[in-house]
Structure 1
Amino acid sequence: MKSKDILSRVFEITRDPRDGLLFLKEFQSLSPESFAILYADSETIFESSEALFSDLKLLYQLDLFPFVVLEEDSFQYLKVFFPLEQMGANPNDEKTLGFSYEIIAREEPLRESVKTSIQKKKIPILLWNDEIEKLESVLDRCRAILHSSKVIYVSIDGPFKDPNSGKVKSILQMENTFPVPSGVTITESQKEFIQLSEAMLSKIEDPKFSIVLTSPFTLLTELFTVKGSGTLVKRKNKIHKFESTDGVDMVRLFRLIEESFGKKLKPDFFQSKFDVLFLEESYRACAWMQKTEYGYLLSKFAVNGVARGAGVGRDIWDQILEHCSPLFWRSKPDNTINKWYMSIAQGIEKDSSWYYYWLGVDQSLIPGIISLLKSQPEDFGLPNPSSDV
């Protein structure tokens, strides 16, 4: 299957080619051994291994090689029901895993062994025995050695869901203990996931690190869409508030804005000043605010594409609401975020060039606000599908 056909198949499954390409580019920018660590419990292997291996095959065909951790009992099951690719089985045989893999020996240096396996176009698999080492210890040790910021726990029970709506609890932010959703019945695998999350996140400082619980039937959707398909758990995003450029890497900030909107800023914007800046500590999102006679103008609301699935934008928005009222802003008509803006704004006015929004504003100020918004310069170059705020 050609690369284009593989991508088409992935996007057919995820129904999200635009974000899919964004995530693929992000994954391919990583060192191959750092892509992701994937653990599948024994029940998942026994009951739905073919669904999981189907998605792993597509990742393999995209030259993405997750580091897979399996229980020894699971692998014994696979040896009985699936031929071993490393012994020369045909990957196209329906009874094979569909991709080449290699068992990583515990006594060998892990990073070098994984890199060698990937260079040979084989997915590295580590066999785990609970009597030798606890799962938490295995995953944390491998994460540290491979410099991976993503751990995927695949379970037939799937992610946490709201007991009333049935919708997946997509993001949970943890401080000291796991924020178990109220009213949720916890399965054994979900209980293990909670314990893993608390143990790993309590000692990992990397703000990009996350551990996600997902189903074997939706692995690609979890990886290649902003919305995802699982419950992603991460440390609470740290948002800093600045009222001057002291302590702000302005070059890095401008790069974030340009990358988020897919456009180059005009030279004049580099000379402009913010009155308030909300900035995520890793420069993955920001809100550039200017104070006016009518309240606060949200000049730029920028969220790194990959960070959109980690709740960073929502945390920035919460800070805006807490500190900056009244609030108003504008957005291009083709901006995909307009649907959300319309759901949270107090009011909206439109013309052919812009949509104008306001929140917490006295009615008498609206004409002046719209006039001010219309007078604002266009800060980017030629527009493209990812519009400017």
Structure 2
Amino acid sequence: MKSKDILSRVFEITRDPRDGLLFLKEFQSLSPESFAILYADSETIFESSEALFSDLKLLYQLDLFPFVVLEEDSFQYLKVFFPLEQLNPNPSDDRSLGFSYEIIPREKPLLETVKSTITKKKIPILLWNDETEKLESVLDRCRSILNSSKIIYVSIDGPLKDPNSGKVKSILQMENHFSIPSDMSITDSQKEFVQLSEALVSKIEDPKFSIVLTSPFTLLTELFTVKGSGTLVKRKNRIHKFTSTEGVDMEKLFRLIEESFGKKLKQSFFDTKFDVLFLEESYRACAWMQKTEFGYLLSKFAVNGVARGAGVGRDIWDQILEHCNPLFWRSKPDNTINKWYMSIAQGIEKDESWYYYWLGVDRPLIPGIVSLLQSQPEDFESKKP
């Protein structure tokens, strides 16, 4: 299957080609061994290994090699029910794993062995035994050595769900621990995921680190869409407030804005100043605010594409609402965020070039605010046809 056909198949499953390409580019920019650590419990392997291996096969065909951790019992099951030809798998065989793999010997240096395995175009698999080492220790040790910021826990039980609405709890942010509502019924694997999350997130300082619980039937959707398909647990996003450029890497800030909007800033914008800047500590999102006679103008609200699924933009927005009132801003009509803006704004006016929004504004001020927004210069270069 050609790369284009593989991508088409992935995007057919995820129904999200634009964000899918964004995530694929992000994954391919990482060192191959750092892509992700994937753990599947034995029940998942016993009941839905074919679904899981189907998605792993597509990742394999995209040259993405997750580091897979399986229980020894799971692997014994696979040896019975699947022909495990490590060197020459037959993708057309319904009983084949569909990809080449290599078992990683525990006694060999992990990093060098995994790199060697991936160089040979094989997915590295580590067999784990609870009596030898606890799962938390295995995952943390491998994550640290492979420098990976993503752990995927695959369970047939799927993600955590709200007991009242039945909707997936997509993001849980925590500092030291989080509590599960008393009326929420969770399975043993979900309980293990919660315990792992608390243990790992509380001690791993990397703000990009996350651990996610998802189903073997929705692995690709979890990886290649902003919305995802599972319950993602991460550290609470750390948002800093600045009133001057001191302590701000302006080059990184401007690069964030350009990458978020997909356009180059005009030279004139580099000479402008913010009155208030809200900035995520890893430069994944920011809000550039300017104080006016009518209140605060949100000049730029930029969120790194990959960070959109981690709740960073929402956390910055909460900071804006807390510190900057009244508030107003504008957005291009084709901006995909307009649907959300319309849901939270107090009011809106439109013309051919812009949508104008405001929040917490007294009615007599609206004409002046719209006039001010209309007078603002275009800060981005026009895209070349």
Per the normalisation by structure 2, the TM-score is 0.99
The question of whether the paired residues in 2 share the 8 Å contact of 1:285 and 1:302 is answered with yes
The question of whether the paired residues in 1 share the 8 Å contact of 2:89 and 2:99 is answered with no
Flag structure 2 segments of 5+ consecutive residues without an equivalent: none
Partner SS for 1:58: helix
Aligned to 1:85: 85
Partner SS for 1:202: helix
Residues 174-183 or 51-60, more deviating = 174-183
Aligned to 1:262: 262
Aligned to 1:151: 151
What per-residue deviation string (whole Å, max 9, x for no partner) do you get for residues 315-357 of structure 1? 0000000000000000000000000000000000000000000
Matches within 5 A, 1:1-389: 1-181=1-181, 183-383=183-383
**Once the 2 structures are TM-superposed, how far is the Cα of residue 183 of structure 1 from its aligned partner?**
3.1
Letter of the structure 2 residue corresponding to residue 221 of structure 1:
T
Partner SS for 1:85: coil
| Alpha-carbon distance in 2 for matches of 1:267, 1:181 | 52
**Once the 2 structures are TM-superposed, how far is the Cα of residue 166 of structure 1 from its aligned partner?**
1.7
| Alpha-carbon distance in 1 for matches of 2:342, 2:98 | 46
| Alpha-carbon distance in 2 for matches of 1:148, 1:243 | 34
| Alpha-carbon distance in 1 for matches of 2:72, 2:384 | 51
The question of whether the paired residues in 2 share the 8 Å contact of 1:173 and 1:179 is answered with no
| Alpha-carbon distance in 1 for matches of 2:87, 2:247 | 57
What per-residue deviation string (whole Å, max 9, x for no partner) do you get for residues 107-140 of structure 1? 0000011001101110000000000000000000
| Alpha-carbon distance in 2 for matches of 1:296, 1:181 | 38
The question of whether the paired residues in 2 share the 8 Å contact of 1:260 and 1:304 is answered with yes
* CA RMSD, Structure 1 to Structure 2 (Å): 1.1
| Alpha-carbon distance in 1 for matches of 2:167, 2:25 | 29
**Once the 2 structures are TM-superposed, how far is the Cα of residue 89 of structure 1 from its aligned partner?**
4.1
Partner SS for 2:107: coil
| Alpha-carbon distance in 1 for matches of 2:89, 2:271 | 63
The question of whether the paired residues in 2 share the 8 Å contact of 1:85 and 1:99 is answered with no
Letter of the structure 2 residue corresponding to residue 196 of structure 1:
L
Identity, in percent, stands at: 87
| Alpha-carbon distance in 1 for matches of 2:110, 2:83 | 25
**Once the 2 structures are TM-superposed, how far is the Cα of residue 167 of structure 1 from its aligned partner?**
1.4
What per-residue deviation string (whole Å, max 9, x for no partner) do you get for residues 274-321 of structure 1? 000000000000000000000000000000000000000000000000
The question of whether the paired residues in 2 share the 8 Å contact of 1:172 and 1:179 is answered with no
**Once the 2 structures are TM-superposed, how far is the Cα of residue 162 of structure 1 from its aligned partner?**
1.5
| Alpha-carbon distance in 1 for matches of 2:172, 2:182 | 12
Give the number of aligned pairs: 385
What per-residue deviation string (whole Å, max 9, x for no partner) do you get for residues 197-225 of structure 1? 01111110000000000000000000000
Per the normalisation by structure 1, the TM-score is 0.98
Partner SS for 1:208: coil
The question of whether the paired residues in 1 share the 8 Å contact of 2:89 and 2:97 is answered with no
| Alpha-carbon distance in 1 for matches of 2:184, 2:327 | 37
| Alpha-carbon distance in 2 for matches of 1:176, 1:349 | 44
Letter of the structure 2 residue corresponding to residue 258 of structure 1:
E
| Alpha-carbon distance in 1 for matches of 2:18, 2:89 | 36
| Alpha-carbon distance in 1 for matches of 2:383, 2:180 | 43
| Alpha-carbon distance in 2 for matches of 1:262, 1:290 | 22
